[in-house]
């Protein structure tokens, strides 16, 4: 994972609530066995069918931040949703609330989930709708989102460990394996009634 | 010494903490890891690139379910991309030594159907899978949740997962359900009440006499859809119904180990005096059969009501979502749900593809014919369910009524195999998600119980079995 410290860029306003991961990347894209190449499928059910869809609008091209309504990323656990957003060029998503699995997947891959109060999300949405050139800065080290044009400077929550991993770009598995002795010790006391699976 | 009373989920959590440190997520041990072809290939690739192995192949089970065709299953998969994905799973399982139930195997089926039927899903276990409906296994008093592919790789390499402890939520449903209402209607009513985001950040425990009165299959239907309310997991405390279901299954403990397990399981239910962060209560006696009208599982209504008017919704975000949903669904506010015609009926999925679901649907269609112009299909949740149904003659009842009788898989729940809706088609579906395009691009999904799906197949419009008489 690449370190993510500060993200500065323009934003896309996706003024919809309950954006599920089936919308972010439709199922027929999930047949691929690679992690790359999902950007072309991002929100494809919407941009293919809705000419006015925000990603079809030239003024939002090359933005790196997505602003969405509440409950972004609910539904299917598909990490492909995160891969699609990142492959398309997004580095962060701002929403009042995220689906739990999506939020976990995002932080494992380096996409920053920025949880803000509904009124902050609303103000940012209106600002970038009114002026697509608006620049937003997300500082992961300080956990602050700044948008001077809208006079917004708001903090966002993230546990210390996740922030440290993002900022340092650390491999989660490598960190866990530092505790291998503890895992092995735990395994010694696994109850005998629990099932194990043999190849037969 | 006083002991702090704990909830079921807190007990499960605490038992599985390998390591806990201030400012860090807890490191949880994973007792069983279920995998399938869609969310595992990139995880295996990650292992290879890092030169890592699978730590506990004996705690890992694989099956092919999402992509598999439900006809001509002895022939190669026609779609080359699906075929590649399924063959990747086979190659990876062979290379790492992981037990696989491949396509056409008698043990193959939807991952959340085969776990319980094999006796791999037991109370007190932590179970994960790269699939959000892993919450199904919580019906046994297991702590089970869906994970992403990075986490799949993590479990492969370490048999553990760092997790931030969620909050607890009790959803209590009391009373006898009205005739014709089922577990599916209970969970649809719950999601309608708390909405798709209501459970975010929580582990839900379902309690109350309505829940206790459900079979294991009904409990699995309830826990399965916990994720549709946003919950991390859904659980039900184990009881005699649970133990009776488990006893004698292939991987269930036997003899002295069974006694040991029972003793352990009986300590799991929530202690008297334990408290939850959030409590929700529903009156089971008032839960009628439900039908979804929109494009998220919170957009539901009792079958004897009408398509709602978005203008009557106060919250601007929810109102906007309802307007969008009705446009997508091609529905007018005020239309009685019973007047809506369907052209497709799908009975199956990890929500409602078990033997009891098939029995209920077969009872409704026995001696009747599918309405003209309706395409109806039954896709058993597993090959074992299919074999059991055939032993009971259910396949003949469905076939005689004009249903198609298929092999096991996820099928039209998400349309990754050839079973899809065409644009504009409208489906009464026993599955779990009515998202836009879920069953096929531009397809329209209405979530219902197996009883309502079967009655709707016969009538051609949304109906309960009682409506057919």
> What pLDDT sits at residue B166?
98
Residue of chain A minimizing CA distance to B126: A194
Collect all residues with Cβ–Cβ distance below 8 Å to B11 and sequence separation of at least 6: B267, B268
List, in order, residues 6 or more apart from B435 with CB less than 8 Å away: A20, A22, A23, A75, B295, B296, B445
Give the pairing of strands B344-348 and B375-379.
parallel
Which DSSP helix (H) or strand (E) runs through B344?
A: strand B344-348
pLDDT at A200: 75
Lookup result for tokens 């609008």: A57
| Position A16 pLDDT exceeds 60 | yes
List C-alpha distances in Å: B344 to B182, B310, B446, B458, B464.
21, 26, 10, 11, 16
Low-confidence stretches of chain B (pLDDT beneath 70): 1-2
**Nearest-CB residue to A77 (from B39, B124, B441):** B39
Helix, strand, coil tally for chain A in percent (to 5)? 40, 20, 40
User: Which of B23, B119, B151 faces A161 most closely, judged by CB atoms?
Assistant: B23
- Is A173's CB within 8 Å of B50's CB? yes
B414 CA: distance to closest CA in chain A (Å)? 7
> How far is the C-alpha of B113 from the C-alpha of A178, rounded, in Å?
35
Point out which residues pair with A65 in neighbouring strands: A11, A92
Angstrom distance (rounded) from CA B362 to CA B73: 24
Q: Which of A30, A97, A195 sits opposite B251 (nearest CB)?
A: A195
Q: With contacts defined as CB-CB under 8 Å, which chain B residues touch A38? A: none
Task: Read off the tokens for B106.
Answer: 């008698």
Interface touch A16/B321, C-beta < 8 Å: yes
ipTM: 0.96
Determine whether the interchain pair A71/B230 forms a contact, defined as Cβ–Cβ distance below 8 Å.
yes
**Residue A135, class by beta-carbon neighbours within 10 Å (0-12 exposed, 13-18 middle, 19+ buried)?**
middle
Which pLDDT belongs to residue B1? Answer: 57
Would the CB atoms of A100 and B230 count as touching at under 8 Å? Answer: yes
Candidate from A70, A173, A183 with C-beta closest to B197: A70
Instruction: Kindly give, in sequence order, each residue whose CB lies less than 8 Å from that of residue B35, ignoring residues fewer than 6 positions away.
Output: B60, B61, B62, B89, B98, B111, B129, B130, B152
CB atoms within 10 A of CB B73: 17
User: Structural domains in chain A?
Assistant: 6-170 (3.20.19.10)
In chain A, which residues have their Cβ closer than 8 Å to the Cβ of B29?
183, 186-187, 190
Both structure tokens of A52: 């006015």
Of all residues in chain A, the one with the smallest CA distance to B93 is A199
Nearest chain A residue to B19 by CA: give it: A182
B227 contacts A18? CB cut-off 8 A:
no
Nearest residue, CB atoms, A177 vs list B151, B158, B166 = B158
Question: Which one of B231, B234, B435, B438 would you mutate to disrupt binding with A, by most A Cβ within 10 Å of its Cβ?
Answer: B435
Given this model, what pLDDT does residue B319 score? 94
Give me the pLDDT at residue A171, please: 85
Nearest-CA distance from B246 to chain A in Å? 12
Q: What is the pLDDT of residue B150?
A: 97
Q: Counting Cβ atoms within 10 Å, is residue B98 exposed (0-12), middle (13-18) or buried (19+)?
A: buried
The string of pLDDT tens digits covering residues A20-69 is 999 999 999 999 999 999 999 999 999 999 999 999 999 999 999 999 99
Q: At what angle do helices B394-401 and B355-365 cross, to 10 degrees?
A: 40
The candidate with the shortest Cα–Cα distance to A10, out of A161, A115, A133, A163, is A133
Residue of chain A whose alpha carbon sits nearest to that of B98: A199
Quick one: pLDDT band at residue A93, thresholds 50, 70, 90? very high
DSSP state letter for B59: G
């Amino acid at each position: 994972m690449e370190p993510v410290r500060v993200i500065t860029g323009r934003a896309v306003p996706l003024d919809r609530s309950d954006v599920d991961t089936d919308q972010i990347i439709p199922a027929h894209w999930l047949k691929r066995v690679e992690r790359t190449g999902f950007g072309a499928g991002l929100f494809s059910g919407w941009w293919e069918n809705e000419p006015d869809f925000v990603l079809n609008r030239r003024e939002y091209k090359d933005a790196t931040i997505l602003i969405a309504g509440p409950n972004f990323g609910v539904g299917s656990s598909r990490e492909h949703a995160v891969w699609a957003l990142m492959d398309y060029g997004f580095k962060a998503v701002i929403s009042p609330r995220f689906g739990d699995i999506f939020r976990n997947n995002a932080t494992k891959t380096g996409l920053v989930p920025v949880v803000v109060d509904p009124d902050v999300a609303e103000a940012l949405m209106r600002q970038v709708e009114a002026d697509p050139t608006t620049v937003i800065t997300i500082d992961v080290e300080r956990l602050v989102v700044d948008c001077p044009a809208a006079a917004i400077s708001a903090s966002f929550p993230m546990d210390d460990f996740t922030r440290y991993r993002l900022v340092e770009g650390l491999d989660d598995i490598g960190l866990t394996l530092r505790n291998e002795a503890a895992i092995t010790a735990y395994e010694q006391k696994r109850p005998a009634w629990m099932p194990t699976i043999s190849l037969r | 010494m006083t002991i702090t009373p704990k909830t079921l989920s807190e007990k499960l959590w605490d038992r599985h903490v390998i390591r806990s440190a201030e400012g860090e997520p807890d490191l949880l041990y994973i007792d069983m890891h279920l995998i399938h072809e869609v969310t595992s290939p990139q995880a295996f690739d990650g292992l290879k690139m890092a030169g890592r192995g699978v730590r506990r192949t004996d705690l890992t089970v694989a099956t092919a379910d999402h992509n598999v065709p439900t006809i001509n299953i002895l022939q190669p998969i026609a779609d080359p991309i699906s075929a590649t994905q399924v063959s990747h799973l086979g190659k990876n399982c062979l290379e790492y030594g992981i037990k696989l139930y491949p396509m056409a195997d008698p043990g193959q089926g939807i991952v959340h159907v085969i776990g319980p039927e094999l006796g791999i899903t037991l109370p007190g276990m932590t179970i994960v899978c790269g699939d959000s409906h892993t919450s199904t296994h919580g019906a046994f008093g297991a702590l089970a949740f869906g994970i992403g592919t990075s986490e799949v790789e993590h479990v492969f390499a370490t048999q553990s997962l760092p997790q931030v402890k969620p909050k607890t939520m009790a959803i209590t449903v009391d009373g006898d359900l009205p005739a014709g209402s089922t577990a599916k209607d209970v969970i649809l009513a719950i999601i309608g009440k708390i909405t798709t985001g209501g459970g975010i950040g929580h582990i839900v425990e379902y309690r109350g006499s309505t829940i206790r009165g459900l079979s294991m299959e009904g409990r699995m239907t309830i826990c399965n859809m916990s994720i549709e309310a946003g919950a991390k997991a859904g659980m039900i405390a184990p009881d005699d119904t649970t133990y009776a279901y488990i006893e004698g299954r292939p991987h269930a403990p036997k003899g002295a180990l069974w006694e040991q397990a029972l003793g352990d399981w009986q300590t799991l239910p929530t202690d008297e005096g334990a408290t939850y962060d959030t409590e929700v209560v529903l009156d089971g006696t008032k839960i009628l059969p439900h039908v979804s009208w929109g494009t998220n599982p919170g957009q539901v209504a009792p079958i004897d009501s009408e398509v709602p008017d978005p203008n009557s919704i106060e919250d601007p975000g929810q109102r906007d979502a309802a307007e969008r949903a009705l446009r997508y669904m091609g529905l007018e506010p005020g239309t009685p749900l019973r007047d809506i015609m369907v052209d497709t009926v799908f009975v199956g999925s990890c929500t409602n593809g078990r033997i009891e679901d098939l029995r209920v649907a077969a009872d409704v269609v026995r001696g009747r014919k599918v309405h003209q112009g309706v395409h109806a299909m039954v896709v058993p949740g597993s090959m074992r369910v299919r074999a059991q149904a055939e032993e009971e003659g259910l396949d003949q009842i469905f076939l005689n009524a004009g249903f198609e009788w298929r092999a096991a898989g996820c099928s039209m729940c998400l349309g990754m195999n050839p079973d899809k809706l065409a644009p504009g088609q409208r489906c009464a579906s026993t599955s779990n998600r009515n998202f836009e395009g879920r069953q096929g691009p531009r397809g329209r999904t209405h979530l219902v119980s197996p009883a309502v799906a079967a009655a709707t197949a016969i009538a051609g419009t949304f109906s309960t079995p009682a409506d057919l008489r």
